[in-house]
Structure 1
Amino acid sequence: MSVLVVGISHNSAPVSLLERVALDDDGVQKLMADAAACEHVTEATVISTCNRVEIYTEVERFHGSVESLSKLLVERAGETTEAMLPHLYVHYDDGAISHLFQVAAGLDSMAVGEGQILGQTREALRRGQELGTVGPALNTLFQQALRVGKRTRAETAIDQVAPTLVTAAIDQIDGSDDAVRGKDVVVLGAGAMAGLATATVARMGARRVAVVNRSMERAKRLAALYDAHPVPISQLAAELTGADVLITCTGSAATLVGRDVLAAARADVADRPLAIIDLALPHDVDPAAAELPGVTLIGLAQLAEALHDGTSSVEVLEVRRILGEEVTAFLAARRQASVTPTVVALRSMATSVVDAEMTRLESRLPDLDDHVRDEIRHAVRRVADKLLHEPTVRVKELANEDGAVSYAAALAELFALDPEAVDAVTRPMGVPEEGAP
């Protein structure tokens, strides 16, 4: 079994294509289920953010799995395979593990070092567990990735290397830290990104913050945290009349702020500057809104350019060192774990041999004293244990070394271990053997 990642992100595709692959909550769950249903895939989950969709799987075969998983993303985008494939990337086994660790650490984010990706990684694990598509392999991998992500932030200042998407976007308004100070700000949405946006503009000194959402309950809950004003989406146009900044970050599949709607809302204040930050994927705001007088539209494509060069700081280099250390340790532990079933099967075989020999001895010497029989049994077992001790210790040590040699396979071959006996050690209780009724 090996880990396989097939994905698309801001690093591989333009925002216009990412928009077509973007997923709402139901879409994430469907993609996860579809991936898990693919032939040769035993476990699956999906990391979905405003700038990436990645399918993480545990697979039995590489080529067939890559083709099946790529097809899912191609179908989601509604593109031809030829047009889509150049924008997809594949990471396999060691490379897949390294990639996930980089993602969790924020090194692969549009805003290098941002912390929101850690929560999104945790959410991918949670969804997979709830849906039943995540098993032991991905659970272990994602738990480790979350631990590594926390470690990089605890031991370095990586989260201070670059701004969050929200602060980076605000910087694009006028290049100063006072872009929202004393201004009226409207936040459209009430999810995690909207919460970050509301917290950020409140901290930066916005005069008034309105949280607009379809669900007033969610709007009220978010607004209460930052002394903001909850507003139903039916009053969005009225809020836009007096707004200086609009930040949108919903999960809607449809455009929520059309050009004509915005023009009508600003009919009496057409000369008043309005900065719109659209962090949604697909976009919440009609791109044509940028044509209106006084309107500045900042989207993910513009942010991608502004944040492109954020990978050369000392903190980033330190995070890369930590990731290298963690990947090496994880792979060594995984190799050692792969040997364990073989070692267990070997010791089980030795126990069976000892028991068989004792049974034969007892049948030949039925009058053997109980005490003597027990001493013989213990002596034979000690001999077996001592003979196996050095080979099993060495095979675990050798498994820690990076290399293509399968010491577990060599051990199984040398001692003629039954493959089914080895498989039985790793098969969860209650799961039948392959081909069993």
Structure 2
Amino acid sequence: MSLVVLGLSHHGAPLGLLESVALDGPAATDLETAVLRSEHVTEAVVLSTCNRTEVYAESLTFHGALVDITNALAQACSVDRAELQPHLYVHYEDRGIAHAFTVAAGLDSMAVGEAQILGQVRRSLSRAQKHGHVGPALNGLLQQGLRVAKRVHSETEIDLVSGSLVQAGITRAEAVLGGLGARSVLVVGAGGMGALAATTVSRHGAREVVVVNRNPDRAVGVAERVGGRARPLAELTEALADADLVIASTGARGQVVTAEHVAAALATRGGRPQVYVDLALPHDVELDVDALEGATRVGLAELGEDLAEAGSAPQVAVARELVTAEVAAYLLQRSAQAVAPTVTALRARAGEVVDAELTRLERRTPGLDDHERAEVRRAVERVVDKLLHTPTVRVKELARDGQGGSYARALSDLFDLDPRDVSLVSAPPAIPGEDA
């Protein structure tokens, strides 16, 4: 079986298309279910963030899986396959593993090095585990990807250059409004990005932080952590009128802040300007807001341009080197694991032959005492060990060079190993819980 990664991201897809394929948790689960209906796929995990949607799949055949995953994605997002196809990228096996580790470490993000992707990968994996969509292959891959990402953030200086989308939005807002010390900030949405926005503007010294969310308890929780206050969603128009800076990230389908809302807010502000930073995909703030006098809308497209140069920082190069080393180590470990069942089955077969021959010898030589029988057994076992030593060492050496699979198959043929014996010793372990 082989890893296939199919998706599209901010690197090559227009923002409008990314909005069309953005999936919330239930929709991502439905897509996994659809992908797993394919006879070519055995495991599936969907990762959908503000700048990418990807399907990770363990496949039996590459081309069959690719066709079925593409069709399932197009259908799930109600996007014509012909529109989707030119913007899709595909990574297979080694490149797929490298991509998974790079994504988890934040090195493929719009805000290079951002840490929010860690939580998004973890939640996607946990959700797939909950629904039985992930098995030992993808579980092992993504768990290791999370460990690699943690190493990147703890052992390199990537955090020095990982300017978040929130920070980039604040920088844009301050260019219009000046510092936030005398400004009121409204955060629309109380998820991970909303909580980060509230925390960041608070650290920037915002005079007031107000949080609005569909779930009032979550709004209160976020607001209390930063010394702000919560308002119900029903008071959104009034809250907009009081805010100098609005940061929106709800994950809702459709616009939460319309041009009509903003026009009503501006009418009460006596000409004081407003900035709307839209971090959502699909976008929360209607695009027409930017045409209103006194309002400035900043979206992901503008923020992506501001963050584009971060990828060339020396800290990023160090982080990429760490990821490359981890990919090589993972491939080596996987190669060794691939040949281990054959080696184990071979030694088990040799042990059976030794036991059978010694049992036959005991029947033919009843006069041997226990000491003599033990010496005979040790001699036979030493002969077997010497005969198996070279092929065992050689298959492990070849595994390190990526050639162990063909040699293991040759051993199976030469020694007539039953495939069922090999499969028994290669049975997948139970899937562990989510890696904290």
| In structure 2, distance between residues paired with 1:273 and 1:178 | 11
SS at match of 2:312: coil
> In 1, distance between residues paired with 2:266 and 2:3?
52
Identity of aligned residues (%): 49
Q: Could you say if the C-alpha distance between residues 133 and 405 of structure 1 is closer, same or farther in structure 2, counting changes exceeding 3 Å? A: closer
Number of the residue aligned with 2:307: 307
Partner deviation per Cα, 1:179-203 (whole Å, 9 max, x = no partner):
4332100001111000110110000
The Cα RMSD (Å) is 1.9
Report the Cα distance in structure 2 between the residues aligned to 1:37 and 1:202, rounded to whole angstroms: 47
Equivalent residues in 2 for 1:104-183 (5 A)? 104-175=104-175, 179-183=179-183
Deviations 1:336-382 (A, max 9, x none): 11010000010011011112212322333345434433332333223
Q: Which residue of 2 aligns with 1:434?
A: none
How far apart, in 1, do the equivalents of 2:278 and 2:429 lie? 50
What's the counterpart of residue 344 of structure 2? 344
Residues 176 and 275 in structure 2, CA contact (< 8 A), matched pair in contact too: no
- Report the counterpart of residue 286 of structure 2 in structure 1: 286
Please tell me the residue identity of whatever aligns with 1:229. Answer: R
Distance 1:280 1:124 in 2: 18
What CA distance in whole angstroms lies between the structure 2 residues aligned with 1:34 and 1:270? 53
SS at match of 2:310: coil
User: How far off its partner does 1:35 sit?
Assistant: 2.3
Q: Secondary structure at the match of 2:308?
A: coil
- With the length of structure 1 as denominator, give the TM-score of the two structures: 0.94
How far, CA to CA, are the matches of 2:270 and 2:153 in structure 1?
45
Listed as ranges, the gaps of 5+ residues in structure 2 are 431-436
Assess if the C-alpha contact under 8 Å between 2:173 and 2:245 holds in 1: no
SS at match of 1:11: coil
* Deviation larger for 391-400 or 59-68: 391-400
Partner of 2:325: 325
Bigger Cα displacement from structure 2, 397-406 vs 268-277? 397-406
CA distance in 2, matches of 1:70, 1:284: 27
The CA deviation at 1:279 is: 0.7
Q: Which residue of 2 aligns with 1:378?
A: 378
Output the amino acid matched with 2:372.
V
Q: Which residue of structure 2 aligns with residue 186 of structure 1?
A: 186
Count matched residues: 430
Partner amino acid for 2:320?
R
Quick one: distance in 2 between partners of 1:252 and 1:345? 54
Residue 228 in structure 1 maps to residue 223 in structure 2: no
Deviation at 1:428, TM superposition (A): 4.3
Long gaps (5+) in structure 1? 431-437
After superposing the two structures, state which structure 1 stretch, 112-121 or 261-270, moved more: 261-270
Asked whether 1:22 is paired with 2:32, we answer no
CA 1:160/1:308 → structure 2, altered by over 3 Å: closer, same or farther? same
Does the CA-based 8 Å contact 1:24-1:253 persist in structure 2? no
Does the Cα contact within 8 Å between 1:17 and 1:77 map onto a contact in 2? no
CA distance, structure 2, for counterparts of residue 429 and residue 294 of structure 1: 60
**CA–CA distance in 2 between the matches of 1:403 and 1:318?**
30
Equivalent position of 2:218 in the other structure? 218
Corresponding residue of 2:433: none
Q: Stretches of 4+ moved more than 6 A in 1?
A: none
Q: Secondary structure at the match of 2:57?
A: strand
Say whether 1:274 aligns with 2:264. no
Matched, 1:10 2:10: yes
Pair 109,177 (structure 1): closer, same or farther in 2 beyond 3 Å: farther
How far does residue 424 in structure 1 lie from its aligned partner after superposition? 2.0
- Contact 1:45 / 1:124 at 8 angstroms: preserved in 2? yes
Report if the CA contact (8 A) 1:336-1:396 is conserved. Answer: yes
Q: TM-score, normalised by structure 2?
A: 0.94
Please identify, of 369-378 and 14-23, the stretch whose mean Cα deviation from structure 2 is larger: 369-378
Relative distance call for 1:31 and 1:281 in structure 2 (3 A) is same
Give the whole-Å Cα distance in 2 for the aligned partners of 1:177 and 1:376.
91
Q: Which residue of 2 aligns with 1:359?
A: 359
Please tell me the residue identity of whatever aligns with 2:122.
R
Tell me how far apart the structure 2 counterparts of residues 60 and 327 of structure 1 sit (CA, whole Å). 22
Residues in 2 aligned to 1:255 and 1:168: alpha-carbon distance in whole angstroms: 22
Give the corresponding residue for 1:199: 199
Distance 1:429 1:155 in 2: 30
* Residues in 1 aligned to 2:269 and 2:2: alpha-carbon distance in whole angstroms: 59
1:7-37, Cα deviation, whole Å (9 max, x unpaired) = 1111121110011111122112212222233
